[in-house]
Structure 1
C-alpha cells in the first residue's frame, strides 16, 4: 500500500509540474495574444475594432486572400506530386526506392527559406537559369511573387503527403482492388474509387500538415514576395511597426492564422468521422514490375521529382564554393565565403548550437516524463496533456514569439533575457516531436517490469530512471534529434525575439539574402544543411523504420 501511495504521489507531482510548464509557456502566451487582439492600443480599452479593421481594410483582406491562395495551391501541388510518387514507390518495383525516400526526407528537414533563397539564385532577376535563357533570346518569368511561393511550398512539403500515403498504400487489402478489377473497373477507376478512398486519412493528414505549414511560413513569402504579402509577413511587419507599444494588430492577424489552422484541422476530422476507412492487414499488395515506356516514365517521374526538390540544396552548396570578392562573385572556386562566416558570423553559429542544444536537453527531460504520464496514467490530466501536445503544431512561430513578447517582456516576468526566451520558445514549439516519438516507444513496452521494480521496493523515480528510460532510449534519441533539426532551423520566431547578442544562423542567412550577400548566405546555409544532414543520419541509425520517424 505504501509503495502504491508513493508512486501515486510522485507522478501526481510530476503531472502537476508538466501542467504548470505547459500553462506558462504554451497556454498563457496564446491567451495573452488572444486578449491583446481585443485591446485598443491607444485607449487600452476592450474593443472589437482590431478585428473590424482586419476584415474591412483591403490591406489585411488581401493578405488573407493571398495566404489562403498560396496555402491551398501549395497543398494541392504537394498532393499532385506526393500521391503518385507514393503509389509508384509502394506498388512498383523501382530502382533506387530507398534513395527516393532518403532524398524526400532530406528535402523535408531542410529549412524552407533556404529553398526560397536558392530559387532566387536560379530564377531570380540575375539567376543563372534566367541569364541562360536570356542569352538565347527567351524571356522567362522570375521566381518572385505568388507563383514562386507556391512552387517552393509544393517542392518543400510534398514529402509529408508522400511518406504518409506510401505507408498507407502498403497496408491496403488487395482484395478490394481485385474485386473492383473483376467487376470491370479500369486501373484508373480502381485507383480513384477504391484505393484513394482507402488511403484518404493518410492523404488528408499530410495535406493538413502542408496547409498549416504553408500559411505559417514566414521566410519564403518574405524572401520571394516582393509586394505579395501573406498574414505571416503582415504580422511580422505589424509587430515591427508597433515596437514600443502594444502589438495589437500583430496579435490580431496572428489569431486569424490560428483560426485558419484550427478550422482546417476540424474540417478534416469532420470528413473522416463520416466514413469508416479500416481494413484488415491481410492480402497485402504485391509490387508489379513495369516494362517498356511505362517503366521509363515512372522512373523518370519518381527520380525527377526528388532531384528537382533537392536542386535548391545542391545549388546552395555549389554556390558556397564560388570565389567571391566581398558580396560579388568573381569567377572560379574558393573558400572566401567560409572565411567570411568565420570572421563575421562565428557568434551566429555558436548561438544556434547553444540555443538548440539547450532546448533539446529540456525536450529530452520533459519528453520522457510527459510520455510516461500520457501512456501510464489514465487520468483527465494525462488526457489534457496529450491534447495540449497538438497545439504547437497549429501555432505559427510568429504567433508564439509575439505571445512570448507579450508575456515575458511586460509585467513581473519582464526580466528574462533574449537567450532564455529563444531557448524556451524552441523547447515548447518542438516538444511534441520528442513526446510523440517517445510515446510510440513506451506504448510497445509492457508496464510489468516497472511494476516489478516498484514491488521490490524501488522508489518510482528510481524505477523510471533505471528501467523505463533505457527501454525507451531509442525513441527518446530520435525525438531529440528531430527537435534539434527543427530548433536550429527556426527563423520566424527568432526574428522577433533575438537581439544583437543572440543572432542565429537562420537570421544571419535571412539578413544576408536581403542584403544581396549570396556567398555568405550560401556558406551559412551549407553549414546549417550539414548539421541537419548529420542529424538525419543519426536518426536513421536509431530507428528501424526511417519513414515513421518523420511522420
Structure 2
C-alpha cells in the first residue's frame, strides 16, 4: 500500500497530460483538415467535373495539357521558374562563397540588404524596375537621349530579372551558412594535390554544400512559378499558369471553375515534383562534413580583392534598387497620377485621405492572423517536438504543404469550400484572415519548433511531477523559455502576412482590400505615386520586423531560412 500511494499522483498527472495534449492534437488536426486539406481536396475534386453536366471527366486536364494556349503558359511558367532559380544561384552562390571565405568589407550590410530584399513583396520589385527600365523609365529615357535603345523590361527577361534579384537571398543565406560549417581539410588536401581553386570549388566545396544550394534553389523555383504579381505587372502578354488560373477563375465565376482548378493542380504537381526531385538527388549520395577545423577567412588584396568587392557591392545595389526607387518616388509630388518633378508628400496625403481603410485592413488582418499563428504554432510545435509519434510526424509534414501550394490555388480552394451556408465567408474579412493564417502558419511552427528542441523536457516534466496540470506547466514553464522563438516566428509571419497578394486577390471585396491589392491595382492604373507610398509603408513595416528578429535571433540570417 505504501508503494502504491506515491504513484497515484503520477498516474493522475499522466492521464491529465494524455487528455490535455490529445485534445490539443485533435483540435490542431481539425484546423488543418478544415483550412488546408478540405480546400485542396475540393480543388482536386472540382478539377474532374464537367463544368456543364457535373459528370466525372478527364477533359479538363487533357485540355490544359494539350491545348496550345495552356501548354504555352506551362512552358512560360517552367521557363521563368528555371530562369529565376538559375539567376538566384548565379548570384547567391558566388556571393555566399566570397562572404564566407574572405574578409569582405560591409558583410553585415550585405546580409541585411539580402534579408530586406527577401521579405519585400516581389511585385514591388516589378513595379520599381518598370519605373527604371519601362518604356518611359528613368534609365530608358537617359539612354534614349544618348541614342541607345534598351530592350524592353516587359516579358520573359524582366520577370527573370525580378525573380533572380528577389529570391537569390535564399541561396545566399543557406549556402553561406553551409560554407562556414564545412571542414577546411578537404580543400587543403585538394590544394596540396595540385587542384586549382576553381577546380577545388567544383570538385570538393560545392558537393559539400549542395544540400544547402539545392534547398535555396528549389525555394526560388517554387516561389517563382507560384508568383502572381510579377508576371501580372511586368509580363504583359507573357502568360504563366498563375495568371491564367486567376483569369480563368474570374471568367468562370458563377459556374464550375473546372479549368482554373485543373491549371491549379498542374501548378501543385510541378512544385511537388521539384521538391521530390531534390530529395531523390540528395538521397543518392551522402553529403556530410565533420564540423571541425572550420574555414578561416582570408584577407583580400589587389585586383582579385577589388573584383570581389565590386561583385558584392553590385549585388547589394541591384537588390536595394527596388527599395530605394519606391521610397524616392513616394516623396515626389504628384498631380493625380502624374509626377510634377518636385518633392512633396501628396501621395501620402492621398493614402491618408482616400485609403485609410486599406492601410487599416492590412494591419488588422495581418495582426489577427499572426495572433492565431502564434497561439497555434506554440501548441503544434510542442506536439511535433515532444510527442515523437507517427501522427505528430504526419502533422508536421502536412504543414509543409502551404510552402509549395501557390496562393492562387489556395484562394480557389477557399472560394469553393466556404461559399455556402452555414460557412459562407465569401466577401468577409474573416476569410482573408483564415487564408493568411493557414498559409503562414509554417513560419511560426518552424521558428518555435527550433527553439523548443533546445529546451530539455525534464524542465516541464518536473513541474508536472510536482502536481502542476499539463496546461499550466506548459504555459508557466515552457512558453516563457520559448518566448524569443515565438516572437521571431510572429515577426516572420507578420512580414509575410502583411505582404500577401496572390491568395487574397481572388477573395477580397471593396471593404476588405489590403495594401498589396491596392498597390497591384494602382500600378495597373498608372498610379505610381500612390503605389510608391503604400509600398513604402509595407517596406518600413517589414524593416521594423526584421530589426526585431535581428535583435532576438542568435543567428540573424538563419532566422529567415
Q: Could you tell me which of 365, 384, 389 is aligned with 1:374?
A: 384
2:481 aligned partner: 471
SS of the residue corresponding to residue 334 of structure 2 reads: strand
2:82, 2:221 within 8 Å by CA — same for their partners in 1? Answer: yes
2:427, 2:512 within 8 Å by CA — same for their partners in 1? Answer: no
Spell out, residue by residue over 1:86-123, the C-alpha distance to the aligned partner (whole angstroms, 9 max, x if none): 00000001111111101100000010000000000000
1:512 aligned partner: 522
1:437, 1:475 within 8 Å by CA — same for their partners in 2? Answer: yes
2:430 aligned partner: 420
Aligned CA distance change for structure 1 residues 72 and 182 (closer, same or farther; 3 Å): same
Spell out, residue by residue over 1:486-514, the C-alpha distance to the aligned partner (whole angstroms, 9 max, x if none): 00000111110000110000000000001
1:15, 1:381 within 8 Å by CA — same for their partners in 2? Answer: no
Alignment of 1:71-82 (within 5 A): 71-82=81-92
Equivalents in 1 of 2:320, 2:45: separation in Å? 42
1:334 aligned partner: 344
- Structure 1 residues not aligned, in runs of 5+: none
SS of the residue corresponding to residue 342 of structure 2 reads: strand
CA deviation after TM superposition for structure 1 residue 413, in Å: 2.3
2:6 aligned partner: none
CA deviation after TM superposition for structure 1 residue 389, in Å: 1.6
1:391 aligned partner: 401
Alignment of 1:428-467 (within 5 A): 428-467=438-477
1:44 aligned partner: 54
1:265 aligned partner: 275
Q: Please tell me whether residue 88 in structure 1 is matched to residue 85 in structure 2.
A: no
Q: Please tell me whether residue 180 in structure 1 is matched to residue 190 in structure 2.
A: yes
CA deviation after TM superposition for structure 1 residue 411, in Å: 5.6
Spell out, residue by residue over 1:176-235, the C-alpha distance to the aligned partner (whole angstroms, 9 max, x if none): 111111111111110000000000000000000000000000000000111000000000
2:40 aligned partner: 30
1:238 aligned partner: 248
Equivalents in 2 of 1:536, 1:72: separation in Å? 29
Equivalents in 1 of 2:502, 2:265: separation in Å? 16
Q: Could you tell me which of 195, 202, 217 is aligned with 2:212?
A: 202
1:152 aligned partner: 162
1:351, 1:503 within 8 Å by CA — same for their partners in 2? Answer: yes
1:401, 1:494 within 8 Å by CA — same for their partners in 2? Answer: yes
Equivalents in 2 of 1:416, 1:119: separation in Å? 35
Q: Please tell me whether residue 323 in structure 1 is matched to residue 346 in structure 2.
A: no
Spell out, residue by residue over 1:42-99, the C-alpha distance to the aligned partner (whole angstroms, 9 max, x if none): 0011100000110111110000000000100110010000000000000001111111
Q: Please tell me whether residue 166 in structure 1 is matched to residue 176 in structure 2.
A: yes
2:4 aligned partner: none
Equivalents in 2 of 1:60, 1:416: separation in Å? 28
Kindly tell me the number of residue pairs found equivalent between the two proteins.
Answer: 551
SS of the residue corresponding to residue 333 of structure 2 reads: strand
Equivalents in 1 of 2:518, 2:322: separation in Å? 18
Equivalents in 1 of 2:494, 2:367: separation in Å? 7
Structure-2-length-normalised TM-score:
0.97
CA deviation after TM superposition for structure 1 residue 414, in Å: 2.1
CA deviation after TM superposition for structure 1 residue 410, in Å: 3.3
Equivalents in 1 of 2:476, 2:528: separation in Å? 50
Equivalents in 1 of 2:195, 2:306: separation in Å? 25
1:180, 1:190 within 8 Å by CA — same for their partners in 2? Answer: yes
1:279 aligned partner: 289
Q: Could you tell me which of 133, 142, 151 is aligned with 1:123?
A: 133
Q: Could you tell me which of 67, 71, 78 is aligned with 1:68?
A: 78
2:113 aligned partner: 103
SS of the residue corresponding to residue 298 of structure 1 reads: helix
- Structure 2 residues not aligned, in runs of 5+: 1-10
Structure 1 runs, 4 residues or longer, greater than 6 Å off: none
Equivalents in 2 of 1:337, 1:417: separation in Å? 28
2:125, 2:322 within 8 Å by CA — same for their partners in 1? Answer: yes
Structure-1-length-normalised TM-score:
0.99
- CA-atom RMSD, angstroms? 0.8
CA deviation after TM superposition for structure 1 residue 544, in Å: 1.8
Q: Could you tell me which of 259, 274, 280 is aligned with 1:249?
A: 259
Equivalents in 2 of 1:180, 1:136: separation in Å? 51
Equivalents in 1 of 2:87, 2:262: separation in Å? 29
Equivalents in 1 of 2:415, 2:333: separation in Å? 41
**Bigger mean CA deviation after superposition, 230-239 or 301-310:** 301-310
SS of the residue corresponding to residue 48 of structure 2 reads: coil
Q: Please tell me whether residue 485 in structure 1 is matched to residue 495 in structure 2.
A: yes
Spell out, residue by residue over 1:340-397, the C-alpha distance to the aligned partner (whole angstroms, 9 max, x if none): 1111111110000000000000000001000000011122221111111211101110
Equivalents in 1 of 2:511, 2:422: separation in Å? 23
2:201 aligned partner: 191
SS of the residue corresponding to residue 332 of structure 1 reads: strand
1:310 aligned partner: 320
Q: Please tell me whether residue 365 in structure 1 is matched to residue 372 in structure 2.
A: no
Equivalents in 1 of 2:224, 2:427: separation in Å? 30
1:117, 1:223 within 8 Å by CA — same for their partners in 2? Answer: yes
